Chain A
Amino acid sequence: MIEIDDVSFSYDRGKTNTLKNISLDILEKQVTSFIGPSGCGKSTLLRCLNRMNDLVDTSCITNGEIRIMGHDIHGKDVDAIELRKQVGMVFQKYNPFPKSIYDNVAYGLRIQGIKKKDQLDQAVEKSLRGAALWDEVKDRLKDSALGLSGGQQQRLCIARTIAVQPRVILMDEPCSALDPIATAKVEELITELRQEFTIVIVTHSMQQASRVSDHTAFFYLGELIEYGPTDRVFQNPEQKRTEDYISGRFG
């Protein structure tokens, strides 16, 4: 689904590489976790997958390429905005627009040119159901999204993301600002979304990575140290650095 092929990345026009020769294949309709200590490059790599790093002027891929469905996402014919329709993103801090619940979910669809109310209604309901939020908000769709709880706002952001039917959903520490109940709901949602979407999640929670992901990649100082099935990585890692990190010996 996503092929990361010998990718190096720099934030300073190639003077130093934040990511060093990363190669890994992310499988379709599976959840892949990126773990590692702060500064290891996991969020940087995540943001490479929908070219969010393009927003940093001095950043560049210095080696290798990233292919999604076989297409180089940095190819000349690839428009970053179009790419982000296919590769949606959910951020650490939930960030609904200061609009109604309905308008938040309909936002991307309207940009895509969908104007018919029936069509929008259906898509909004489907997305809110997909984000396990419909039953909680169906009677107040016109209320402000900012009146929802933190967990509901994050699920609304997920609904907004899936409304435009991306192939891939990137999640950058999606539960770090949520309480345990809201976290559990988002994790449950992630396992359900896997049936339809390819999900890549950056998390600092080892328990979360082990619970929700099929594959786990461990990064350290910009290098991919280990990548494999989550059960194996957490029960019997091949690399000592992985074991030291996941068991809390790092430092």
Chain B
Amino acid sequence: MRTEGHIFSEFDDALNQLKRDTSLIAQRSIVNIENAMRGLIEQNVEYCDLAIDGDEAVNALEMEIDSQCVSIMSKHRPFAGDLRMVIASMKITHNLERISDHAENIAKRAKKIIKWGGSDEILSLEPLQHAVLEILRDAHMAYVDGNLDLARSVISRGEVFRKLQKSLTKSFIVKIDTDVENYKTYLNLIFVDRWLERVGDHALNIAEDVIFMESSQDIRHGGEFQED
């Protein structure tokens, strides 16, 4: 993907700004998820508050990026790779905004769980957290570098976090039956593992958008990537 070399240099400036800001919203959303999960696992309310407060900046950035995309499309009328980059950035940004919403939700539930005295079962979320954050970071890097192979690799790892999430949900349901006194905590941990799974789904969406951006191929909803 080329983002420089247009005859009209303002077009380059606009595309480069868009890429920087999309990367920035990705970084902020990732940090929000990291803080939310750190708050939950370390049972530290301060990190939870960071995740909750951090969502506002992501929301503002989402609107700013939308505005940039509209401006680029109306002023510069992009075609081909430029057009795909603008469309992909817009869609990726919406996925990242949702990820940050999930971070906020996780942080709010974490604060409740901490208030109720916490639970050792929280630690069982760590493998899922690692799997989801890993593909989210990779999806982000695939966008930044225009790395088609990395984006495809993210897609291929979708089953890993889904299996982990299903397994966790099952174990928390068992806990609800066997440790009735703390059922509210386990119920909330189920919410957390589902939100983490959704974060993973958003990361896959981002990888799909990167594939579209780089190759013009739409592999959503089970579409196969066609090698040249």
Contact surface of A with B, Cβ cutoff 8 Å: 206-207, 210, 234-237, 242-244, 246-251
Q: Which 9 A-B pairs have the closest CB atoms?
A: A236-B216, A246-B79, A243-B80, A247-B82, A249-B5, A248-B6, A251-B7, A234-B79, A247-B79
| Residue B161 interfacial (CB < 8 Å) | no
In contact, B81 and A243 (Cβ under 8 angstroms): yes
Q: How many residues of B contact A (CB 8 A)?
A: 16
Given contacts A249-B2, A249-B6, contact A235 B84 (CB under 8 A): yes
| Residue B127 interfacial (CB < 8 Å) | no
**B window 47-105: CB within 8 A of A:** 76-84
- The distance in angstroms between the C-alpha atoms of A249 and B6, with both chains bound, is 4
A206, A237, A248, A250: residue with the most chain B Cβ atoms closer than 10 Å? A248
- The distance in angstroms between the C-alpha atoms of A39 and B42, with both chains bound, is 68
In contact, B6 and A247 (Cβ under 8 angstroms): yes
Give the chain A neighbours of B80 by CB distance below 8 A.
234-237, 242-243, 246-247
Name A205's closest neighbour in chain B (CB-CB).
B77
Q: How far is the CB of A166 from chain B (nearest CB, A)?
A: 32
A237, A243, A247, A250: residue with the most chain B Cβ atoms closer than 10 Å? A247
In contact, A248 and B7 (Cβ under 8 angstroms): yes
Number of A-B contacts defined by CB within 8 Å: 39
- The distance in angstroms between the C-alpha atoms of A42 and B6, with both chains bound, is 23
User: Assuming A235-B79, A242-B80, A248-B11, what are 8 further A-B pairs, CB within 8 angstroms?
Assistant: A206-B79, A235-B84, A235-B216, A236-B84, A246-B80, A247-B79, A247-B82, A249-B5
Choice from A207, A247, A250, A251 contacting B81 with Cβ under 8 Å: A247
Give the chain B neighbours of A235 by CB distance below 8 A.
79-80, 83-84, 216
In contact, B83 and A207 (Cβ under 8 angstroms): no
- The distance in angstroms between the C-alpha atoms of A191 and B111, with both chains bound, is 61
Give the chain A neighbours of B83 by CB distance below 8 A.
234-235
Give the chain B neighbours of A250 by CB distance below 8 A.
7
Give the chain B neighbours of A242 by CB distance below 8 A.
80
Q: How far is the CB of B210 from chain A (nearest CB, A)?
A: 15
Q: How far is the CB of B4 from chain A (nearest CB, A)?
A: 9
Q: How far is the CB of B88 from chain A (nearest CB, A)?
A: 13
Given contacts A235-B84, A236-B216, A248-B11, contact A210 B6 (CB under 8 A): no
